[in-house]
Amino acid sequence: MNNILSQMLEKYEIKNIQDETNAIKEIIQEIVICGLSRGGFFDEAAFYGGTALRIFYGLNRFSEDLDFALLKPNKNFNLSKYFSYIEKEVQAYGLNLKIETKEKTKKSNTMSAFLKGDTKEHILIFFEDASIQSTNSIKNIKIKFEVDINPPQGANYQFKYKLLPSPHQVRLYDESSLFAGKIHAIICRNWQSRTKGRDLYDYIFYLSKNVSVNIRLIREKLIDSNFISKDEKFNLDVLKEILINKFKEIDYNNAKEDVKSFIEDVSSLDLWNEKFFIEITKDLKDS
């Protein structure tokens, strides 16, 4: 195995095939981010979402997708111009992955692409003594990355640095702006048949770190989603009321099932119920 990949694997405690798959996906995510950085992507975009929180702020759960937002709206943004940098970066570490653009079926402010590869092949690259038979039921690697090309304004940014797979710089939302994005997801995400427990898990993480919410950004996001109007009164108390009403609607058993495969300590979910989330929301503060 490549020495850099070996170094990146050292931080993971591998107990089973799921741990192997999660570690591979996350290392690939970090290689993609490095490639984007080399290509100058972060001159016009910023990293946000659960994976940004995981990699740069220590979130203790795995995250599947890479989410980015342009610094300013650009309907002509060309995501594909960065594909060659990503491909060059993953190939440098002996990985066999292909990028596919997701074609829009309707008008959208989001531009998407997928990085795909054979999980069995990559487990054998990372873990030379892995059992081939044990990988047969594992789905292929699929990492989605999305870019908001018309983002609401109000985010604050900072630069962070990573030394592996090679030194690079990343522009990302600061913690208060990331928190605003997570609260927006809790309020507005279309959860359909499954409540996204990962959103609730991250919400607890922000509160446990005493992170304040970027109130300007969450307001702009809620206006952009047509959840509130520009003329409506909006402040921290209004936001708390919106969240409390949301927490009264959630299927918490469903939410727990969603997040279990992404965390190590599932006993931390035992407290999840309406009363718990309403109570901790009293500690929410703005910036």
Instruction: Quick: pLDDT tens for 118-165.
Output: 878 888 888 877 655 555 556 788 999 999 999 999 999 999 999 999
The proportion of the chain whose per-residue pLDDT surpasses 70, expressed as a percent, equals: 94
Handedness of CA 152, 281, 253, 248 (dihedral sign): negative
How far apart CA 69 and CA 84 sit, in angstroms, is 20
Confidence at residue 2, expressed as pLDDT on a 0 to 100 scale: 85
- In the chain, what is the straight-line distance between the N-terminal and C-terminal CA atoms, in Å? 46
Handedness of CA 25, 271, 239, 193 (dihedral sign): positive
Domains annotated on the chain, with CATH: 1-173 (3.10.450.620), 175-287 (no CATH)
Confidence at residue 195, expressed as pLDDT on a 0 to 100 scale: 74
Confidence at residue 134, expressed as pLDDT on a 0 to 100 scale: 54
Confidence at residue 19, expressed as pLDDT on a 0 to 100 scale: 86
Q: Angle at CA 282, nearest 5°, toward 278 and 284?
A: 110
The band of 61, judged by pLDDT with boundaries at 50, 70 and 90, is very high
More confident of the two residues 179 and 138: 179
How far apart CA 30 and CA 36 sit, in angstroms, is 10
More confident of the two residues 214 and 103: 214
Confidence at residue 59, expressed as pLDDT on a 0 to 100 scale: 95
CB 53: neighbour CB atoms within 10 A? 25
Confidence at residue 121, expressed as pLDDT on a 0 to 100 scale: 86
> How confident is the prediction for the chain on average, in pLDDT?
92
Question: What tens digit of pLDDT does each residue of 1-55 get?
Answer: 789 999 999 999 888 888 888 899 999 999 999 999 999 999 999 999 999 999 9
